[in-house]
A and B are shown apart, each in its own frame.
Chain A
Amino acid sequence: MILTALAALGRTVLAALAGAGRVGLFTGAVLSHMLRPPFYGRELLQALLQIGWLSLPVVGMTALFTGAALALQIYAGGARFSAESVVPSIVAIGMVRELGPVLGGLMVAARVASSIAAEIGTMKVTEQIDALVTLSTNPLKYLAVPRVLAATLSVPLLVAVGDVIGVMGGWLIGTERLGFNSATYIRNTWEYLELWDVGSGLVKGAAFGFLVALMGCYYGMNSGRGAQGVGRATKSAVVAASVAILASNYLLTEVFFSK
């Protein structure tokens, strides 16, 4: 009984380690192809449009409502310590350091990791990836590199825009619902915000973008057969990207801010 349980545990651990090894090898291959020609500029531009530009509405909406809710929460919590005046600075720091990159990353994961995995998975089951090989085109270089590069470049920009919109959400609620003076709110936001607060959030955004596209490409390339295989790949890509974002967020926060 105990041996059976241990064997099952061992199999699970071995499978997890093998999976981690495969993702590691895939990551290494993508990174090495990023540095070697040929480079597919047109595919990179298309990926920038798909991943960056078309994610803007969903990231912007998320940031707006998060900033607004954060202002209400901090005001209600701060009132217990007569510290309502910290709303502008805490909203700004909370948005740019943490909520902007994490929620932006998660929204991009939901939108982009799923679509990349579904698209590449469908290409795999319909032999389009085999066709690329027969046309002397490396699928990793043609499909994965532009998407990973585009997400790594565009998610920090999305985070930056989301930061501004999130702070604006807090300002809107602060001035319209909580009675803050507009000029004071903006001044307090600027005074307590440091450059590294913004910079760390953008670095996180780049890391999250990389992880999102990497997971989408990995699960798409390793999709099983048929509609069920593509569906499973899509689900796995979103779950893996989301967990990777949250885990790497903790690690990056430790690196950037622990004393």
Chain B
Amino acid sequence: MIEIESLTKSFGSKQVLRGVSLRIERGESLVVIGGSGTGKSVLLKCILGLVTPDAGLIRVNGAPVAQGREDFLSRFGMLFQGAALFDSLSVWQNVAFRLLRGPQKRPKAEARAVAIEKLARVGLGPEVADLFPAELSGGMQKRVGLARAIATEPSVIFFDEPTTGLDPIMSGVINDLINSVVREMGATAITITHDMSSVRAIADRVAMLHDGLIRWHGTIADMDTTSDPYVTQFIHGRAEGPIAAIR
């Protein structure tokens, strides 16, 4: 379970998060929606410790994450917006990164076998294992990123804009993969996106971040029936409404 209480973060005079509070139950898939520049990525980076919040508290299973970050990260996986694969490593070495070094290190052959198994899980054959990231298409890179995120079967997974830059069919493939791996592993997942097809495919619950605050949260069914003008404008992609089109 992840609890976020009154999280604030400013960059200079720009206040990005103004008291965000959220609770994600164990095994739940939460999708955070919101326009570009509303602080979705900053929220994820605060949880990960990549950005230090100005105030507020983040707890994982009841304990402040700042005190047990290494333990948290050892059970964590993340799919980045641009996949963030390491250019200098082959595909299988990217997937098995954790298994080749550190406390979860395994023999090379075993690590490679796990990498190939995870690649198969995301629909990629063993022939891509020895390629380098630059030799892959955007969709394949995302799938390798997903294979890396699930390589050690983490209990918490974050997905940062998982379908950005992909065609609709590949977006559907990635959404299905995310959905199935999260359900199979029973992992707690947080996804940030503004792709409504991802929201509908992945989410148990949805939270809308706007102007540095959680504007609305609820289930997919609630989202479709809500009268909140911010949510309705966002999910229907209307230029007219309370959210300024030009920010």
Residues of A bordering B, CB below 8 Å: 38, 40, 122-123, 126-128, 130-131, 133-137
Contact = CB atoms under 8 A, between A and B. Distances in A.
A176 B108 CA distance: 56
Contact of A136 (B50, B74, B84, B158): B74
B172 interface: no
A123 B88 CA distance: 10
B102 interface: yes
B86 A136 contact: no
Given A130-B84, A133-B50, 11 more contacts: A38-B101, A123-B86, A123-B87, A131-B85, A133-B49, A134-B48, A134-B73, A135-B73, A135-B98, A136-B74, A137-B102
8 nearest CB pairs, A to B: A131-B84, A127-B84, A134-B78, A136-B73, A127-B80, A128-B84, A135-B97, A136-B74
Contacts of A38: 101-102
B49 A137 contact: no
Interface string B65-83: 0000010011011101110
Contacts of A122: 87
A130 B73 contact: no
A134 B69 CA distance: 10
Given A38-B102, A136-B98, A137-B101, A131 B50 contact: no
Interface in B135-161: 148, 158
A130 B48 CA distance: 9
Contacts of A128: 84-87
Given A38-B101, A127-B81, A134 B76 contact: yes
| Interface range on chain B (Cβ under 8 Å from partner) | 20 to 34
A173 B73 CA distance: 62
Nearest to A127: B84
B82 A126 contact: yes
B142 to A, nearest CB: 13
Given A130-B50, A131-B86, A136 B81 contact: no
Contacts of A137: 97, 101-102
Nearest to A142: B101
Given A126-B84, A127-B84, A128-B86, A133 B73 contact: yes
B102 A127 contact: no
A226 to B, nearest CB: 13
B78 A131 contact: yes
14 contacts: A38-B101, A127-B82, A128-B85, A130-B48, A133-B50, A133-B73, A134-B73, A134-B78, A134-B158, A135-B73, A135-B97, A135-B148, A136-B73, A136-B103
A128 B74 CA distance: 17
B99 to A, nearest CB: 10
Contacts of B80: 127, 130-131
Contacts of A123: 86-87
B23 interface: no
B45 interface: yes
Contacts of A130: 45, 48, 50, 80, 84
A232 to B, nearest CB: 20
Nearest to A41: B101
Nearest to B45: A130
A47 to B, nearest CB: 11
A126 B101 CA distance: 22
A200 to B, nearest CB: 36
A136 B80 CA distance: 15
A40 B148 CA distance: 20
Contacts of B45: 130
Nearest to B72: A136
Contacts of A127: 80-82, 84
Contacts of B84: 126-128, 130-131
Contacts of B77: 134
Contacts of A40: 101
Most B CB atoms within 10 A — which of A122, A136, A137? A136
Contacts of B87: 122-123, 128
A38 B70 CA distance: 14
A131 B101 CA distance: 15
Most A-side CB within 10 Å, residue of B80, B84, B87: B84
Nearest to B51: A130
